[in-house]
């Protein structure tokens, strides 16, 4: 397999685990996933929890990616209104082989029009806000993550790590996904339908 | 409660999830945990998976921390031989209220002498290497994490996130730990004895 270039979007107020959970898992196979952080400019980017990351690429540098990763976090409230982010997502989504988002990152994809005609999910406590974006998105209330074609959207924060292992299973095979979980001593929730947090958030009745 | 200043050590080749899993959880309570990244110099630090972090403090700047977080990663193989890191850990551990490590981060604590006379654990696949450090450490082969007094050491990578919630439970109360897990849609493995990876790694028999 040709190495997939992973373009992970960062913006002020991104959520640490949304980003670094999936990147930990993709990072188990550096020969398959070449990880790069991408931001509007080359300046340091402060996360929602305060630790600061340095981007490897800027929107303007023309780099194209095979796999997009869009984290959520408090910063999505601003990012969703930034045309430069929407344009970058639209341009990249046209050529990316796979598109992934974690938590409220799906609000950015929806606002960019990338989820129109697709099923998608998001953070359960932010469901009302996120599901206001996108004109023809079929928002799924209860799901750890949702795959629709080449787009994977996960539920809140930790769900992104579970989703990333599903992506690895689809790209490299289930044995590689299980191996990554073992190496990182991760209890993988393999079932995309296992979402007790939708019940806790009152989005679906407790059955 | 007075805000605890969290000093999270970073060094070249640190493991992303070792660091950012616990910081995600501590970051749920910014009024209680003030998160800072600390490195030898102010230069950007490249993780084992490639994403780059910027430190907030250097070893030389004299900042003292209430809670230490020491991640593991491939870089521990070099870090364990660096006197400047050992000296920083020794100095900080004398005044820190709580000391935590994830994965092979416990090799650094052991080499610095901080684990002498204590029970501790580490990554299960690196157990042999890590347990060669420290002269009087009681290395526990099977544990998701081990608490001994004010020192918490966790098993590999993902185990650090489980441990960090136990720290939050001890500092702020169990309800706050459960709340953080809910906010981040995290399936918390609350039981420090639940460690199937010790069996998988052949450290203990499968019973």
Task: Summarize pLDDT for A68-123 with one digit per residue, the tens.
Answer: 999 999 999 999 999 999 999 999 999 999 999 999 999 999 999 999 999 999 99
CB contact under 8 A, B52 and A54: yes
Alpha helices, DSSP H, located in B6-152: 16-26, 76-79, 83-95, 105-111, 127-130
Q: What is the pLDDT of residue B52?
A: 98
Closest in B16, B44, B186 to A20, CB measured? B16
Closest in B51, B159, B184 to A156, CB measured? B184
Q: What is the pLDDT of residue A150?
A: 98
Question: Over 80: is that where the pLDDT of A125 sits?
Answer: yes
Burial of A168 (0-12, 13-18, 19+ CB in 10 A): buried
Q: Rounded CA gap, A55 and A10, in Å? A: 8
The proportion of chain A whose per-residue pLDDT surpasses 90, expressed as a percent, equals: 97
Q: Rounded CA gap, A56 and B44, in Å? A: 12
Instruction: Enter the tokens of residue B45.
Output: 């630090």
pLDDT digits (tens, 9 = 90+) for A32-71: 999 999 999 999 999 999 999 999 999 999 899 999 999 9
CB contact under 8 A, B44 and A54: yes
b/e per residue A115-150 (b: at least 16 CB within 10 A): beebbbbbbbbbbeebbebbeebebbebbbbbbeee
Instruction: Enter the tokens of residue A179.
Output: 């191996």
* Shortest Cα distance, chain A CAs vs residue B187, angstroms: 8
Q: What is the pLDDT of residue B135?
A: 84
pLDDT band at A29 (very low <50, low <70, confident <90, very high): very high
Q: What is the pLDDT of residue A135?
A: 84
**Whole-number average pLDDT of chain A:** 97
Which of A16, A164, A200 to mutate against chain B (most B CBs within 10 Å)?
A16
Q: Reduced to 3 states, what is the DSSP secondary structure of residue A129?
A: helix
Neighbouring residues of B175: CB distance < 8 A, sequence distance ≥ 6:
none
Q: What is the pLDDT of residue A27?
A: 98
Contact status of A84 with chain B (Cβ, < 8 Å): no
Instruction: Enter the tokens of residue B101.
Output: 């490590």
pLDDT band at A207 (very low <50, low <70, confident <90, very high): confident
The H-or-E segment that residue A181 falls in is helix A174-183
The per-residue pLDDT string of chain B (207 residues; one tens digit each, 9 = 90 and over) reads 789 999 999 999 999 999 999 999 999 999 999 999 999 999 999 999 999 999 999 999 989 999 999 999 999 999 999 999 999 999 999 999 999 999 999 999 999 999 999 999 999 999 999 999 998 999 999 999 999 999 999 999 999 999 999 999 999 999 999 999 999 999 999 999 999 999 999 999 987
Contact status of B125 with chain A (Cβ, < 8 Å): yes
Proportion of chain B in helix, strand, coil states, percent, rounded to 5 = 35, 20, 45
């Amino acid at each position: 397999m040709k190495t997939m270039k992973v373009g992970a979007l960062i913006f002020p107020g991104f959520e640490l685990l949304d980003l670094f959970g999936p990147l930990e898992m993709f990072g188990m196979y550096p020969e398959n996933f070449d990880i790069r952080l991408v931001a509007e400019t080359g300046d340091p980017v402060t996360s929602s929890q305060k630790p600061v990351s340095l981007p490897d690429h800027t929107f303007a540098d023309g780099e194209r990616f095979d796999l997009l990763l869009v984290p959520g976090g408090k910063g999505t409230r601003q990012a969703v209104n930034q045309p430069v982010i929407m344009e970058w997502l639209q341009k990249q989504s046209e050529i990316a082989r796979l598109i992934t988002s974690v938590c409220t990152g799906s609000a950015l994809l929806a606002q960019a029009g990338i989820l129109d005609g697709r099923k998608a999910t998001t953070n359960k406590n932010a469901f009302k806000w996120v599901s206001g974006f996108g004109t023809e998105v079929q928002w799924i209330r209860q799901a750890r993550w949702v795959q629709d074609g080449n787009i994977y959207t996960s539920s809140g924060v930790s769900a992104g790590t579970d989703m990333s292992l599903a992506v690895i299973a689809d790209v490299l095979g289930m044995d590689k996904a299980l191996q990554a979980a073992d190496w990182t001593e991760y209890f993988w929730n393999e079932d995309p339908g296992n979402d007790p947090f939708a019940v806790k958030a009152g989005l679906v009745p407790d059955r």
